[in-house]
Structure 1
Amino acid sequence: MDLISVIVTTYNWPAALELCLDSLFAQHDQAFEIIIADDGSTPANQTLVQAYCAKSPVSIQYVHHDDQGFRAGTIRNKAVASSQGEYLLFIDGDCICPADFIARHRQLAEPGCFVPGNRVLLSESFTQEVIEKHISLHQKPLRYFMSLRLQKKINRISAFIQLPLGFLRKLQPQKWQKAMTCNLALWKNDFLRVNGFDELFEGWGFEDSDLVIRLIHAGIKRKEGRFAAPVLHLWHRHNDKSKQDLNYQRLLDRLEHRDFIAAKKGVSQYLE
């Protein structure tokens, strides 16, 4: 594997995205591209983001569509259609990546597997402090995060511990729970095989779980990324969950139909 395509989803929060991009710009492994998947930010915020992108030491693209509510699956499909890498790594634009994040995911990559990493949540007050002071969390040592945990500024410290779990990473090959696109890696061919995100999932909720379930139905196995490749997730208010119940019911239907693999309305519509 050579090039990794990092898909970064964002919406009207350039201050958080700058922290995210700073952590990507500082990666030890630079064999990747960045594709900003903007789910409808305002023109003013678009301008801020595009100006910051000019600092990137790696290839970077900016993909945007109009604001029609939460359509993260749709904008991610559009971003993948513009990608050049053979391996995809999805993160959110309010996530900060340790400097070895790309390198660790590259080590975990394996044919026939998808890799969900985990996350460390920041408190609301500490998130504000990080943004106001532009704290470079990706450069901080483990002892710094131990101190944060004692102050209850983060929810855990265990995610930073790197363990050589070997075969234990594949003990739950069909587990779909807690595999989220704030930290999820998979082969692009596998993504295309299931036709990407199903855009029938509009509004917040379960579009990432649906993707993972269809990957499992297609024979792609889970390889655990915990204790290897965490992200730091800034605190934010919950999205509008008015369509959560509808999306969850659609998800339950997918679980029952193991022959359902390809999204009805997915990434294929954006491919040449």
Structure 2
Amino acid sequence: MPRRVQLSAVIPVRDRSGPRLDNCLRSLRWQQLEPGALEIVITDYGSSAEQAAALRDLCECYGVRLVRVDANGVWNRARALNYGIQQATGRYVFCTDADMIFAPNFVQTLLDTQAAERDAAFVVCHCRDLPERLAEQTWTLEDFPQLLAAAPFRKATGTGACQVARREFFERVRGYDEGFSFWGQEDNDMRFRAGRAGLRQVWVQDQTAMLHQWHPSERGKQPLRKSLNDVRFHLTKRVTVKNWRGWGERSRPLGLG
């Protein structure tokens, strides 16, 4: 009998298929885990045909489940995450990003933390940043100690590239708030909502590490959207259940399915 998937890593992307994502997936496959414990789900949210083809090849190489969303217009990370969450089969869902590299014990640490907290944790991790001077390239498990030594903790703790809870929690609150568009406050919003739902926030950076691969940032390119996202966050962060008109691929209103 095949082992039950313990954790589903959900990664949203658009036009991402190069070395950063390759390194991320490789690090998820070098985890110290029982076979079959980890499932990886990537949501391709409207990539170009060329990028989508390259992404399919990469997913096949690493045994990744690929969810395609034919989306046009503004990037919506929350909605892309929700599509992936709805396809996840693991006991826990681990929402992360395509530009991370994880220590070999990272996923096991997430599982051990949830076990210690009796599944009542919202697990987060303080990110470390790789410097710009490290050229974009393929990194292996043997390189990880060198990378770790070169990556100081980010000044702002943040919780975006590691948010872990029971899959039923994400279902109950109807996923990330899709009212946030471009790069928004969806991670901070989910952290507040998890607390209101009774989950305890637990940090794990003293036991493991996740490293952010440097790349030019796009977050400051749409200041108006950022301002609107900030306002939405402060007005709605105490609302636990969101997306009343549907979330991800589920378009029916709340209470009808």
- The alignment status of 1:60 with 2:40, answered yes or no, reads no
- The alignment status of 1:23 with 2:23, answered yes or no, reads no
- The alignment status of 1:225 with 2:229, answered yes or no, reads no
Q: Describe the shift of the 1:72–1:141 C-alpha distance in structure 2 as closer, same or farther (beyond 3 A).
A: closer
Matches within 5 A, 1:42-121: 42-56=48-62, 58=63, 60-109=65-114, 110=117, 111-121=119-129
What letter is aligned with 1:250?
R
TM-score with structure 2 setting the length = 0.83
Contact 2:9–2:93 (Cα < 8 Å) also in 1: yes
Matches within 5 A, 1:256-267: 258=238, 260-265=239-244, 267=247
Cα drift, residue 191 of structure 1: 1.1
3-state SS of paired residue (1:236): coil
Distance 1:92 1:230 in 2: 14
Contact 1:12–1:45 (Cα < 8 Å) also in 2: yes
Cα drift, residue 44 of structure 1: 0.7
Cα drift, residue 267 of structure 1: 3.3
3-state SS of paired residue (1:213): helix
**Partner residue of 2:177 out of 198, 201, 204:** 198
Contact 2:80–2:248 (Cα < 8 Å) also in 1: no
What letter is aligned with 2:230?
Y
What is residue 227 of structure 2 aligned with on the other side? 245
Cα drift, residue 268 of structure 1: 6.9
Cα drift, residue 236 of structure 1: 2.1
**Partner residue of 2:11 out of 8, 29, 37:** 8
What letter is aligned with 2:11?
V
Structure 1 unmatched ranges of 5 or more: 149-153, 158-176
Deviations 1:199-254 (A, max 9, x none): 11112120111111111112222112221232111112222343111111111112
The Cα RMSD (Å) is: 2.4
Distance 2:65 2:182 in 1: 27
Structure 2 unmatched ranges of 5 or more: 252-256
Q: Describe the shift of the 1:142–1:204 C-alpha distance in structure 2 as closer, same or farther (beyond 3 A).
A: same
Contact 2:130–2:147 (Cα < 8 Å) also in 1: no
Distance 2:68 2:200 in 1: 30
What letter is aligned with 1:212?
R
**Partner residue of 1:270 out of 234, 250, 254:** 250
Distance 1:268 1:36 in 2: 14
Q: Describe the shift of the 1:53–1:139 C-alpha distance in structure 2 as closer, same or farther (beyond 3 A).
A: same
What letter is aligned with 1:125?
R
Distance 1:179 1:124 in 2: 20
What is residue 133 of structure 2 aligned with on the other side? 125
Using the aligned pairs only, state the percent identity: 21
Cα drift, residue 51 of structure 1: 0.7
Distance 2:213 2:146 in 1: 19
Contact 2:5–2:39 (Cα < 8 Å) also in 1: no
3-state SS of paired residue (1:55): helix
Cα drift, residue 2 of structure 1: 4.7
Q: Describe the shift of the 1:244–1:268 C-alpha distance in structure 2 as closer, same or farther (beyond 3 A).
A: closer
Contact 2:83–2:249 (Cα < 8 Å) also in 1: no
What is residue 142 of structure 2 aligned with on the other side? 139
Cα drift, residue 181 of structure 1: 2.9
What letter is aligned with 2:196?
H
Cα drift, residue 63 of structure 1: 3.4
3-state SS of paired residue (2:73): coil
Q: Describe the shift of the 1:213–1:203 C-alpha distance in structure 2 as closer, same or farther (beyond 3 A).
A: same
**Partner residue of 2:215 out of 236, 251, 257:** 236
TM-score with structure 1 setting the length = 0.79
